[in-house]
A and B are shown apart, each in its own frame.
Chain A
Amino acid sequence: MNQSESRFRKLVYLGFIVLLLIPIVVLGMPGGGKFSTPGVLSSMRSEFELGESDIGKIDPTSAAMNMVLLGFRGIAVNSLWASVEHYKNTKNWAQMKSTSDAIIRLQPHFISVWRFTSWNLAFNVSAEWDSVKDRFHWVKEGAKFLQNGIDINAKNPDLAWEEGRIIGFKIGMSDESRYFRKYFKSDPDVEQFKGGPDPKINEQALDNYLVARDWYIKANDRELNQRQRILDRTLFRSYPARSYFDYAAALQKDGVFGEQTRVAWDDAYRDWTTKYGREIFRVPEIPEAEMWMEMSEDDISGQVKTGDEERRLRKAVDDYQKIVNYRYWRDRARCERDPQMADAHREIYEAQVAYGEQRLTEAKALVESGMKNFGDMLKKYPDLLAVDDLLLEDALTAVLMWQYILKLSGDTPTDDYPLKVIWDSQQGRLPDVQARLDRWLLEQSRNPDKK
């Protein structure tokens, strides 16, 4: 091949390159210039809001890393995932966290990565540590990690919901919840947070369920514009109201009674019935009608035209109420916001404390009054007993406590006492309830300041 042939061949290649460049320029030309009109791709990106700035906060580090790697992002990510798994298995937590951060910089809009890694940190890594303070640190790591994802993916509802789950569910319902809930308001890292909360996850020193509620509300707001991919929509949107229930129940569990707890139940009831209960859903069972949880017979009749539609809508309301446990929570909140029920819980709890401190006469009076109030309330809301295991267990705990006190006082239990029906019918639950009560009393004796 002589030199002119080689030059000609190169010129032909150059011609092809220029030819291919023309459609690329036409398709990909960016908009926003003074004279140019945007290319097709640019217009579509704006229309479907797929640009970086439309999706969320732009992370220059992430953009730089992706640029530098050219087309090798996939290989790099795979290698990093292998490293994360290795670091996790060999318990090298610092390296695991920093490698996870690197992955997320390469895949900032891959929602599953955010969800997986935050769960990994908050649930799996946290459980590996022995000290509760260390466990809490890693739960926070998971929550903070997710907050970055929420900023970077500003329209995604799933991540905000996950954040609510970590702060509500993980902190409030794990084995260590008693400590986690306390640390959430008063971080154990006293040197850094001076006895206050970690502002990155709890700026206003609120209860964890109230903070979780804010995240669930954020998730619901986002869900109006972008479909969530976690739960049935009726369930997904129930979480802000459910957080109120969890908050009120947690107050009771912590031994906080009186007006604060009653008001919490009242707020929960109103949120459940007037906000969530009035929220309109379109369900596939009857797409032609609107459905909401708190539908009366008149509401149902007003929504439909034929008898068949009415039957289908009524069934849909019933089904979805069952899915979200709507009626149970409504009745439970109605019952718990009653001052008599609040008194019953308080008296039974105080009786346990008095028993632990050997104030037997006081304990006996408290538990008997509590049992009476409890019995009265259950007569008022008999349906609750059919579905509420917690209430049943509370009732059994009260009777058990009463029997402990009588035994220690040398008295004989009478045959006629409030909650007898429950005691007799629920003997199968007794071993668990007894174990839980004994453990609680043991912990109280170890940590008398925890009341």
Chain B
Amino acid sequence: MDFLPDVFNISQAVGQWLLVLLVGLVSILFITFVSALIGGGVKGASRYGDSLVESLSDLVSVSSTRCYALAKLTFTEAIRRKALFVFVIFAILFMFAGWFISDSNQRPKEAVKVHVTFILNSLSWLTMIVMLLLSCIGIPEDIRLRSIHTVVTKPARRFEIVLSRMLGYIGVGTLLLGVMSVTSLIWIYRQVPEAARSELTARQPIWGDISFLDRVGTLTNAGINVGDIWDFRSYIEGATKGRAIWRFENVTPEMLTTVTSESGEKKEALRLESRFEAFRSHKGNMNRGLNFQYIILNPDNKLEVPAATLQVAEFIGRTDGIPRKLAGVTAEDSGKIYDLFDDLVAKDGSLTVAVACTDPGQYLGMAKPDLFIRLPDAPFALSFFKAMLGIWLFMVLTVALGVTASTFVKGPFAIMVTFTFIMVGNTAREFMDKLLSNKWTGGGLFESAYRILTYMNDTTELPNNPGTQLIKWVDWMLNGFLWLVQQILPNFSYFNMAGYVANGFDVDNMRSLVPAIVVTIGYLIPCVLIGYYCLRSRELEAK
């Protein structure tokens, strides 16, 4: 797997979210109060207080019956608006998808990757577009047709209207996704070539932490950079003391799995799966891949036991069983048998595995997700439905954003606002992160333009004059605005779990699923509140 997000720190995220919410709320209350005071004096302040009390009363006296009735109405309305026509597009997509993505030359892993990615991405975007259109035009259409009066004149509160709209559309989206996800799963099982079906699985990995030793055995943060444009992996040099060292925590005998050796013999072993990358500085022996060695280390007693010497299976990966009993090979411990758990697992329950490249002059590239303990696999359907849950959460967020936008602008503008929000969040986040963290040299918008026009290299210092000072100041201001945008935009990457499923991994709960749920809730609450206040302050007579 070529990505592995960091574990999501829920308490920190919730704390930050509460702080932002509090600051936002206090700021809004303060500004609105001051406006009311300036506009209407003491009477204005009094009206403001009444209005505040009324709002709080709206929020606390939500009726589930009314919400249900309104949500049902929204659901029916969406169906009448031909929301289910999306099934036609979906059917067409499935009927002809094989033309585009099937390739008889594809290797099993590639076939699975292409099919699964196609399905999950298609479903994600298809649902997003349908729900975006529905959620953004609902309230504006009600206002335009004045049908909203029949609702607001009844004892339904505006908070309930916003909430119910969201719930109704979420109901429609759930129906659509429910049908499409089951159909998709069946389609994948049928469409993926028979030889590739064994790749439809959900690996249960135990990830470790990685560190490196350089060629003389000194601990470093990273290995060698071989000039690869993609800095995901760093490399160790062959036949030196260079090592990549993984430390797995809480390793217990329950993690042993039955593996079948090349001779067909079945035995209990700790399964390690690796995906290293080879880099040859000379041709070497082309008959075989580069060799690497697993060495099990016990830091408590400095014991080192070589476990196996194997060949790299680049871009494909290999699974190997480390037997429980390992033989010592050095002169001192020759003939001695070590037990993996009794002798090599440290007292704190951690297992340390070092990887060495044994070919002189050649290099092995490794990153944290390139080695893991593979527990027995879960069914593919499990990870598939987890990814569908991610798409569902994305749909919920789209609906929340769409309904909120539709409470303060008309339908087409609401669509544009929400679509831009989602597109920028999906496509420009990485760009913003790099720009704001100063990973990119060359400055911001105006400095880059200046450098382009004057053919100036991005590493050359700008001349010190008032013009360049102004450029830097304007860029600083723009970057400040960009920072604000970055803070407001949700991190949509949590919702896209296709990478796990396509690579045959179970979706990581703490790295993807929980963050997606937390982010959705984190945006849903302010969206409902903003939507409510916007609708409350909106002049419903204006079309």
Q: Which residues of A contact B (CB under 8 A)?
A: 61, 64-65, 89-95, 97-98, 101-102, 105, 128-132, 134, 137, 140-141, 144, 175-176, 179, 200, 446-447
| Chain A neighbourhood of B106, CB < 8 A | 94, 97
Closest 5 CB pairs of A and B: A94-B110, A130-B278, A130-B314, A94-B113, A61-B99
Instruction: Tell which of A65, A97, A130, A137 has the most Cβ of chain B within 10 Å.
Output: A130
Q: Are A93 and B280 in contact (CB under 8 A)?
A: no
Q: A64-B96, A102-B100 are contacts. A93–B315 as well, Cβ < 8 Å?
A: yes
User: Can you list 18 residue pairs at the A/B interface with Cβ under 8 Å?
Assistant: A90-B230, A91-B277, A92-B2, A95-B113, A97-B106, A98-B100, A101-B100, A102-B100, A105-B100, A128-B315, A129-B314, A129-B315, A131-B313, A134-B315, A134-B316, A140-B105, A144-B105, A200-B105
| Chain A neighbourhood of B433, CB < 8 A | none
B: contact size bracket:
20 to 34
Q: Are B117 and A95 in contact (CB under 8 A)?
A: yes
The distance in angstroms between the C-alpha atoms of A265 and B282, with both chains bound, is: 34
Find the B residue at minimum CB distance from A64.
B96
The distance in angstroms between the C-alpha atoms of A140 and B103, with both chains bound, is: 13
Q: A94-B110, A95-B113, A97-B110 are contacts. A179–B100 as well, Cβ < 8 Å?
A: no
Partner of A131, one of B100, B283, B314: B314
The distance in angstroms between the C-alpha atoms of A105 and B109, with both chains bound, is: 23
Find the B residue at minimum CB distance from A176.
B286
B150 interfacial by beta-carbon distance below 8 Å: no
Find the A residue at minimum CB distance from B3.
A90
Q: Are B114 and A94 in contact (CB under 8 A)?
A: yes
| Chain B neighbourhood of A65, CB < 8 A | 100
CB distance from A1 to the nearest CB of B (A): 18
The distance in angstroms between the C-alpha atoms of A105 and B232, with both chains bound, is: 32
Q: DSSP class of B's interface residues: helix, strand, loop or mixed?
A: loop
Interface residues of B in 199-257 (CB under 8 A from A): 229-230, 232
The distance in angstroms between the C-alpha atoms of A446 and B287, with both chains bound, is: 10
Interface residues of B in 72-109 (CB under 8 A from A): 96, 99-101, 103, 105-107, 109
Q: DSSP class of A's interface residues: helix, strand, loop or mixed?
A: helix
B290 interfacial by beta-carbon distance below 8 Å: yes
Find the B residue at minimum CB distance from A141.
B105
Instruction: Tell which of A91, A128, A447 has the most Cβ of chain B within 10 Å.
Output: A91
Q: A98-B103, A101-B103 are contacts. A132–B286 as well, Cβ < 8 Å?
A: yes
CB distance from A125 to the nearest CB of B (A): 10
The distance in angstroms between the C-alpha atoms of A56 and B341, with both chains bound, is: 66
The distance in angstroms between the C-alpha atoms of A137 and B283, with both chains bound, is: 19
Find the B residue at minimum CB distance from A92.
B2
B285 interfacial by beta-carbon distance below 8 Å: yes
| Chain A neighbourhood of B287, CB < 8 A | 132, 446-447
B24 interfacial by beta-carbon distance below 8 Å: no
Find the A residue at minimum CB distance from B314.
A130
The distance in angstroms between the C-alpha atoms of A137 and B314, with both chains bound, is: 14
The distance in angstroms between the C-alpha atoms of A130 and B281, with both chains bound, is: 12
| Chain A neighbourhood of B277, CB < 8 A | 91, 130
Q: Are A95 and B105 in contact (CB under 8 A)?
A: no
| Chain B neighbourhood of A95, CB < 8 A | 113-114, 117
Binary A-proximity of B170-212 (CB < 8 A = 1, otherwise 0): 0000000000000000000000000000000000000000000
The distance in angstroms between the C-alpha atoms of A91 and B283, with both chains bound, is: 21
Partner of B230, one of A91, A94, A105, A131: A91
Q: Are B314 and A134 in contact (CB under 8 A)?
A: yes
| Chain B neighbourhood of A98, CB < 8 A | 100-101, 103, 114, 118
B335 interfacial by beta-carbon distance below 8 Å: no
The distance in angstroms between the C-alpha atoms of A105 and B278, with both chains bound, is: 33
CB distance from A225 to the nearest CB of B (A): 31
The distance in angstroms between the C-alpha atoms of A98 and B103, with both chains bound, is: 9
B41 interfacial by beta-carbon distance below 8 Å: no
| Chain A neighbourhood of B285, CB < 8 A | 446
B289 interfacial by beta-carbon distance below 8 Å: yes
Find the A residue at minimum CB distance from B283.
A175
B312 interfacial by beta-carbon distance below 8 Å: yes
Binary A-proximity of B268-288 (CB < 8 A = 1, otherwise 0): 000000000110100101110
Find the B residue at minimum CB distance from A135.
B286
Binary A-proximity of B398-409 (CB < 8 A = 1, otherwise 0): 000000000000
The distance in angstroms between the C-alpha atoms of A446 and B284, with both chains bound, is: 12
The distance in angstroms between the C-alpha atoms of A254 and B86, with both chains bound, is: 61
CB distance from A25 to the nearest CB of B (A): 31
| Chain A neighbourhood of B114, CB < 8 A | 94-95, 98
CB distance from B283 to the nearest CB of A (A): 6
Q: Told that A61-B99, A132-B286 touch, could you supply 20 new A-B pairs with CB distance under 8 A? A: A61-B96, A64-B96, A90-B230, A90-B232, A91-B2, A91-B315, A92-B2, A94-B110, A94-B111, A95-B117, A98-B100, A98-B103, A101-B100, A129-B314, A131-B314, A140-B105, A141-B105, A176-B286, A200-B105, A447-B287
